[in-house]
Amino acid sequence: MPPPSAKPAPLGPPDSHHLSAAEGWLELGNPAESAAELELVASDHRTHPAVLELGWNVHARARQWEACLELAARLVRLNPELATGWIHYSYTLHELKRTAEARDRLLSACAKFPHEPVIPYNLACYECTLGNLPLARQWLKQAFARPNSQLWRVAAQSDPDLAPLRAEIENL
């Protein structure tokens, strides 16, 4: 097995086909078929980041947060250089109503991924949920300062976590 910091090699056939099929089923709104397709991936490739991430998405669609937590933890442990694992892990904690822990975990990844816009956005959501509106504003301003800021502004307008800041979002 390559060291955790090495970029994972792409999956080859037939596992790449199973992964593509699983992605397709999920896009079609069928997480059960997606999960069944992921089960066909060879056991020695089930820890591949793409497989773990898609598995997380399948379980998130079904709101199976405990399974998501396990997959995200594995993704962070095996591929700490990928922001998605950290983001999924903290988001899962938030969905499990462990928002303070979600914030703390994501804060530890913030310096590691300084250009990842979803990190300050999610930190704004967590701080807002925790009632820390000044910090939420600061994080939201950082998210809006990153590339594709208009996407984050649009998302913020309807994000229930940011409801206490809704009237201010346009001016941040």
Q: What is the pLDDT of residue 2?
A: 36
- Summarised one tens digit per residue, pLDDT across range 65-79 is 999 999 999 999 999
- In the predicted model, what is the mean pLDDT of the chain? 92
Task: For each of the domains in the chain, give its residue range(s) and CATH number, in order of start.
Answer: 13-98 (1.25.40.10), 117-172 (no CATH)
Decide: pTM greater than 0.75. yes
Question: What pLDDT band is residue 15 in, cutting at 50, 70 and 90?
Answer: confident
The structure tokens listed for 152 are: 């984050």
Burial-class residue 126 by CB neighbours within 10 Å (0-12, 13-18, 19+).
buried
What percent of the chain has pLDDT above 70? 96
Distance CA 60, CA 88 (A): 9
Q: What is the pLDDT of residue 6?
A: 52
Q: How far is CA 107 from CA 110, 160, 166, in A?
A: 5, 21, 23
- Summarised one tens digit per residue, pLDDT across range 25-77 is 999 999 999 999 999 999 999 999 999 999 999 999 999 999 999 999 999 99
